[in-house]
């Protein structure tokens, strides 16, 4: 079967589909990236003050963590239905739902990072005259950065996957192509969009991993030089 006929044969792998529908795939990918990036960015902006509030004590920590956990457990269809009267059928509906889903991951990781800052570092900074704001930005945040960025990585990969659910309101990026392909049993469209979604998740994770390594060079394991030593029991035989 020739490559040109793979569309007619409805093959799973079809280069002609990628060539003829390239603009459609690009548009869906751009929408997918845009929705994911917006949701993660807004999620971080909302999660950070919530984590700061949660670390003030159990009176705040338990309700905040409990609420974010409950939000994460709400099925996506129910979540979008609850938000529909407020946002209507729009990209904002999908972004808001994804933000709410990301909070449980982001808040927990930001809070864990801040709580892991050694008390000795805080005391030393206070002794040098650091106020609460300067202490947070110049001491606590740099030390908490590895845990925070790890949370962003997890939330981003999770959001890439969840964005596809937005297809139910026609704002799912690649998920819209997957859903349309399933409805019409268009195999090449389903497989191509699914592969692109996986590649997006992998690319986002690698990009954020590189950013994490760049911003936290002190977390890298130093390469220790190996000195080859002659075993103590080894004897050197002099030539006769």
Which whole number is the average pLDDT over 115-136? Answer: 87
Q: Where are the domains of the chain?
A: 3-217
pLDDT at position 65: 92
Alpha helices in the chain (DSSP H): 6-9, 15-20, 22-54, 58-73, 76-87, 91-115, 119-127, 132-135, 141-163, 174-183, 187-215
Reported as a single tens digit per residue, the pLDDT across 162-196 is: 999 988 888 888 999 999 989 988 888 999 999 99
Determine the Cα–Cα distance for residues 155 and 101; give it in Å rounded to an integer: 9
Three-class SS state of 21: coil
pLDDT at position 233: 46
pLDDT at position 67: 92
**Across all residues in the chain, what is the average pLDDT?**
86
User: Of 113, 133, 111, nearest to 61 (Cα)?
Assistant: 111
pLDDT at residue 56 above 90?
A: no
Which whole number is the average pLDDT over 5-13? Answer: 81
Categorize the per-residue pLDDT at 226 as very low, low, confident or very high, splitting at 50, 70 and 90.
very low
- Give me the half-sphere count of Cα atoms (radius 13 Å) on the Cβ side of residue 71: 19
Q: Which fold has domain 3-217?
A: MetI-like fold (1.10.3720)
Which whole number is the average pLDDT over 109-121? Answer: 89
Which whole number is the average pLDDT over 12-19? Answer: 86
pLDDT at position 221: 61
pLDDT at residue 225 above 80?
A: no
pLDDT at position 187: 87
pLDDT at residue 227 above 60?
A: no
Integer CA distances (angstroms), 215 to 75, 90, 94, in order: 35, 35, 31
CB atoms within 10 A of CB 223: 6
């Amino acid at each position: 079967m020739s490559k040109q006929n793979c569309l007619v044969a409805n093959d799973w792998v079809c280069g002609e589909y990628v060539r003829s529908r390239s603009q459609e795939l690009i548009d869906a990918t751009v929408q997918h990236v845009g929705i994911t990036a917006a949701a993660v960015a807004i999620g971080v902006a909302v999660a950070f003050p919530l984590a700061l509030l949660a670390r003030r004590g159990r009176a705040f920590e338990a309700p905040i963590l409990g609420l974010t956990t409950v939000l994460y457990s709400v099925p996506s269809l129910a979540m979008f239905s609850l938000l529909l009267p407020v946002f209507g059928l729009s990209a904002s509906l999908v972004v808001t739902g994804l933000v709410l889903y990301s909070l449980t991951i982001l808040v927990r990781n930001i809070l864990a990072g801040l709580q892991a800052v050694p008390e000795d570092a805080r005391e030393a900074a206070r002794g040098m005259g650091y106020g609460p704001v300067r202490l947070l930005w110049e001491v606590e945040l740099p030390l908490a950065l590895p845990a925070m960025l790890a949370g962003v990585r997890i939330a981003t990969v999770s959001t890439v996957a969840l964005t596809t659910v937005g297809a139910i309101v026609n704002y799912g990026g690649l998920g819209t192509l997957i859903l349309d392909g399933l409805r019409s049993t268009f195999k090449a469209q389903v497989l191509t969009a699914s592969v692109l979604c996986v590649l997006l998740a992998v690319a986002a994770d690698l990009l954020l991993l590189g950013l994490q390594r760049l911003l936290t060079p002190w977390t890298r394991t130093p390469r220790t030089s190996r000195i080859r030593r002659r075993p103590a029991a080894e004897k050197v035989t002099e030539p006769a």
